[in-house]
Amino acid sequence: MTYYRHALVLAHDQVDGNILLHHGSKMAHALGTKITVGHISSDYRELQYLNDNTVLSKQSHHVIEAKQMLAELAKSIDFPEGGGIEELVSITRFKDIETLIEERQIDLLIVGHKNRLFGVMSSYSFEFINRILIDVLVQHIPNEN
């Protein structure tokens, strides 16, 4: 069995964040794995062609909500000290994740995947498997029905 030193958990929302962090917490306690929690948002500023304050306001609001969600997740999960919360806001999610992996010497990426219509074609989890050069753990997230 491979022992991972540092895992990056990418939480999309509160539901998958609880599931993924619970799994990461088990690894942290059993193997001493350091956990960093992240969330990727789209950067609306890169999509706009004109200076639109409505778009900038929406972006700021989304970032604040994501940081609040990560803070709540971090409080609700029992994992050892030493991990951190990282907020990533970028359209170039793979470039930013690769940079974070290199800077923090992360050796495992934990992501979630829901079974949904066209999920195979539009899943970020599968994109990470194909693009990231470290191990990727894909945790199934049950549908909310």
Span 25-44, average pLDDT: 81
- pLDDT: is 78 or 1 the higher one? 78
Span 5-18, average pLDDT: 87
pLDDT digits (tens, 9 = 90+) for 108-122: 999 988 765 554 545
Q: How many CB atoms within 10 Å of residue 142?
A: 10
Where do we find the tokens 């359209």? 91
| Cα–Cα distance list, 92 to 2, 17, 97, 109, 120 (Å) | 29, 21, 9, 17, 21
pLDDT digits (tens, 9 = 90+) for 75-117: 777 766 655 566 666 667 788 889 989 998 999 999 988 765 5
Residue pair 100/8 in contact by the 8 Å Cβ criterion = yes
Confidence bin at 29 (pLDDT 50/70/90):
confident
What is the reported pLDDT for 89? 64
pLDDT digits (tens, 9 = 90+) for 36-74: 888 887 666 665 655 667 766 777 777 788 888 888 887
Q: Quick one: residue 65, left, alpha or beta (phi over 0 = left, psi -120 to 50 = alpha)?
A: alpha
Host H or E run for residue 31? helix 14-31
Nearest CA among 37, 34, 20 for reference residue 86? 37
What is the reported pLDDT for 109? 93
Does the pLDDT value for residue 135 go beyond 90? yes
What gap in Å lies between CA 61 and CA 130, rounded to an integer?
31
Q: Quick one: residue 117, left, alpha or beta (phi over 0 = left, psi -120 to 50 = alpha)?
A: beta
- pLDDT: is 16 or 52 the higher one? 16
Does the pLDDT value for residue 138 go beyond 70? yes
